[in-house]
Structures are given as structure tokens and as C-alpha cells.
Structure 1
Amino acid sequence: MKAIKYIIFLLLIFFIGFAIYVAVQPNDYAFNRSRTIKAPTSVVYDIVNDYKEWPRFSPWIEQDTNAILSYEDKTSGINAGYAWEGEILGEGRMQTLKTVSNKAIEQQIDFLKPFESTSKIHWTFEPTQDGTKVTWAMAGEQDFMTKLYVAFSGSIETNTGPDFERGLYKLDSIVQADMKKFSINVEGITQHSGGFYLYNTASSKMSDFKQKMQEMMPIIGGYALTNNITMAGKPFVIYHKWDEENDAVIFSCCIPTTSKMTSSEANILTGQLEPFKAVKTKLRGDYENLKESWDQTMKYIAQNNLELIESGPMIEVYLTDPMSTPNPANWITEIYLAVN
């Protein structure tokens, strides 16, 4: 009998001691994970700020594919939110409390089942030389039940940190995939209206063409702005020679104008396009897909028994500005090839 009492006494001491140990654990927690994603900051921010995108990169929804999601009021911006219910995830909801465009997002996550708790989520987006540094942070308070849970299962960071790392990895993957999306539409025969334009001309190796064009286009555009010249449309490039065999391209960077202009600089000239019959193709996507766009245009010309005018205009019109449209998947380019 004394032995039983002694055992009970020892167990009581153990439970009291363990309860004290649990009670004196930190009352709050905080941790974060970061990853640099090679993408414009606004592209990454827009995906994270839209709850409809979360199933694509959420590590928890990946674990519970049968979870039921419901979006509350709106899916992005302040007060946007979504709720979930699943066998693995339990029940909970998340709401956006504050946003600073392209810089930060503050959210609150409420777990309802299997136990109740509330945490704050903080995202930051920092432009870097290599892209965007994304930091995903979580902080909250630990009540006695939470402390008891982590005493057996490990800290919240130990359990949740790997999920954050997985989520950032998946976010990186979907951002890269989204930026590579493109579509090519050969619209067929059209009539290009022609018109006056200002231009500068250069030749380069084909491998240097993109860099050279990026240097020349701002010069011609800046001249137009400095001299209050009204632009009659979007900037374009005219290809005069494209010689893959000799690795050479001759081209002009152009700004359309409403009338014939007189240039005060020797390297900026005035030209005029006469109206011409053309096959038109529209590319939505990165400029890396232009070669395929040209190939499809040439294929269309051959299949429809049209004749390419070798000395005729070959034009790329850039309807979007990469500075104001950072996602390459949204860039729009039109190609016009003169035909008979």
C-alpha cells in the first residue's frame, strides 16, 4: 500500500513539474523563411495577394487535396479572405489586414479545429539584382494548450518552417511557369496604313541585337518627348536585313509621328511608310517567342500561296512597355510582313 502511495506521489510530482515546465515556456513565437525569385516584384506580389492563387503554391492544400475552400467577399486586397475545411487541415480562415503595393502583405490566420489559435502572417517583397527576395513570416502567442502540444511535437517553427520552404519553392515554380506562357495568333491578311516616323538605324550581330535595340529605342523616344513631338502610335522596329548565315542584322528603331518631322540631330532621321498589304501576327508573351512567331507567319504565307516581298517592310510593333507591364506573359507584339 505504501508503495502505491509512493508511486502516486511521484507521478503527482512529475505532472506538477511538467505543468510548470510547460507553463514557463515562451508566451509567443516568431520565425520566417526567405527565397529569391527571379521575377519582377509586382508579378510575385500579385500572385501572393490573390487567394485564388493560393491552392497553386500552398503546402497545406497540397497535403489535403480534398480540402474544401471558400472565398469570402473578394480574393485580393484588404479584407479579402478564404476559409478551409479538410480532414488533415482541420478548419480555419485567413484574412488580409493590410497591403503595401509590391512591398508587404499582412494577414491573420485563425485555426478553429482541431484546436483554436490565431497567428499573424507577414510577407515582404524586396527587389534585388537577381529578382525579388520574398520573406514569409509567422508570429503568434502560445497558450497553455499550444505549449503542451509543442512540448511533445516540437516547436511551431520546427513543424511549420519546412512547409514555408515548400510553399516558397512552389511559388517560385508557378511564377516562372506563368511568365513563360505565350500565344501566337496569325491573324492573316490586312492593310497596314503606313505613315511618317522618326528613326535611327544600326547593324549588329544577331546575338547583340536585343541589347542594341534596348539602347537605341530610348534615344529615339527621348528625342520625341524632349521636342514635344506627338507620337502617332506604338514604337516599332523595321528589319532591313536578317542574315543568319553571316550573323548580321540591320534594323531601325522607329517612333510613328502624326506628320513629317524635321530632325535637328544627324543620327535621327525622318521616314515614311507607304500603305502596304501585309500578313499580321500577334504574339502575347516574352520576346523570346518572336522567332516562333516569325516562323508561323512565314508558314502561313507559304500555305496560302502568298508571296513575301523581300524588299518590303518587315515590322515588329511593341504594344506594351516592359517597364509598365513587368510580366513578360502580358507583352504584346504585332508582326507585319509585306506580301503580294
Structure 2
Amino acid sequence: MPKTHVSKSIFIAAEPNKVYTLINDFSHWTAWSPWAILETEAKVSVASDGKYFEWEGNRIGSGNMKITKEKGPHKIWADLTFLKPFKSKAKIEYTLTESEGGTQVTWEMYSSLPFFMFFMKDMMQKMIGMDFDRGLKMLKDLVENGKVNCKLTQENNQLFETVHYVGIKGTTPMTEMGLDMSKKIPQLKDYIKANNLESNGEIISIYHKWDMKNQTATYTLAAVVKTLPQNTIGHIISGTIPTTKVNKVIHTGDYDHLGNAWTMQMMMQRNKEFKQNKKMDPFEVYKNSPFHTPSEELITEVMFPTLD
């Protein structure tokens, strides 16, 4: 069977022992799990010693994980068993390395795929890697701030009213999207001011393509305007998102955790909780400004257009 290996790491500004106690006791798992946050109503059972847990959900499937060996506060080994949506087993390792001012945490998985899924090896490794990244960011938040600044709520079959926009389209590495947006927003504001366009200040990102192989996103960063300009110049474009039904996931919290909202949408679509209209691109609407709002209060609405 095709062998797989995923390894992701993050720096956490805390001593290893503080991080270790949140990893080696599964009673803390749901607070930073990249999967538990996608289905908070899933059934989770944790053993009294915190070394074993089981889960069962509609979106996240079912399985169990057991800690098999520990070398505190630097190493944890665990066995992971997936039962649904398909059976699979994996070896998990958490390595905590003391670093200047904190701890470098590495999360690794060694596994294999069924023969019939050999062609999905690269994609699966990248997808699991993104899950690990999401989880490590939440673990960092939990350790450093005492809580994870991410809350997800879902509203299906919502009506999104027509909006007009001016925007800038481009392709950028996923890891640099925040920086890319921060450069484009002033350009859009200057264009709106120079052309006397009326705007409510709302910013939208329309996502045209996710390139998982190269880890890039092609998207349009757009500013909502009351009416479309007669002409656009240079790299500025204009367009309209027509009235449509959407499946909405509302993310409250730091933009670093927005991947949770997108993953929730994709898992809901895969679980057939809504039928996506693939003729329209998904988009996200920023309901308040990061320049005037504490990060834990930022509200972002991730929209997937749906079919009736």
C-alpha cells in the first residue's frame, strides 16, 4: 500500500511542560483539534486517564486514538485508527523541542492508503498537512492566550443580495494571503476616492481557484460599491455578485483560524448537507475591520453559493 508521511511544526512561546500537558491528556483534545471544531455535536468519549479517546460524527467520521508511549515533556507516541469514512491506521508522533523563548512542536503521521486510493497520495498528504497546520495554530493560541480565538456558526439556505464591486485579481501563495490583501486594500481605497465612487467600506474576497499542488490561491480582493464605474484602468477590475442562495459559515476570531471555516464548508458539501452551485465562486465577506477591531471579535462570513 502507498506509504504516507505528514510532518508539520509550529513555535509556541511557552516551556515544553506547559505544551506537553495539553497534548498528552486527550481531555483537552476538543479544544484544539482541527476536526472537532468542524462538528462540535460529534460524540467524543475520553478514558479516565486521558490516554485514549473515541469519536463519532456525521462529518468527521469515526475512530479512536491511544497514547502508547511517553517521554515527558518531549515526546508522545500514539496509535490512530480511522473507522469511517474508510478504515485506516496511522502512527502519530508529537515532538517538543525546547527553543529560545519557547517550544518547537512537531506533529507527524506515518500511515498508508488503500491500493485503490494510490493516486490520491499527494493530495491526501497536503490536505492532512493543512489540517495539522490548523490544529497547531489552535494549540498555540490555547497555550499562549488560554483560549482559542475561533468560533464557527453555520446558517444554511441564506439569501445573499446583489453587490457590485471593484477589485484586484491575482494569484498568491496561501501563506502570504494576509500580506497580499494588506497591499491591495489601500489601492482599492485610492481608486474609489479618485473616481468618486460610493462605498460602504465592505471588503469581499472571491476565490476562483485553490491550487493544492502549488499551495496558491487565485482570488479577487474586492471593495463593495453602490454602482459600477463606467470604465476601469490598469489592474483594477469591476463586477457583480448576483443575488443567490448561500450556505454561510460565520467565523468569529483571528484570521489565522479562517481555514477552519473553509474546511467546515468543504466537509458539509462532501457530506451532502447542501448542493454547491459550482458555476459561482465561493467568497468571504469581512464584516468589520482588523484595523479597528480586536482579533477575537473579527467576523468573517464564508459563503458557498448553493442550488435550490
TM-score by length of 2: 0.50
> Would you tell me which structure has more strand in proportion to its own residues?
2
Structure with max Cα Rg: 1
**Larger RCO, structure (CA 8 Å, separation 6 or more):** 2
TM-score by length of 1: 0.46
> Would you tell me which structure has more helix in proportion to its own residues?
1
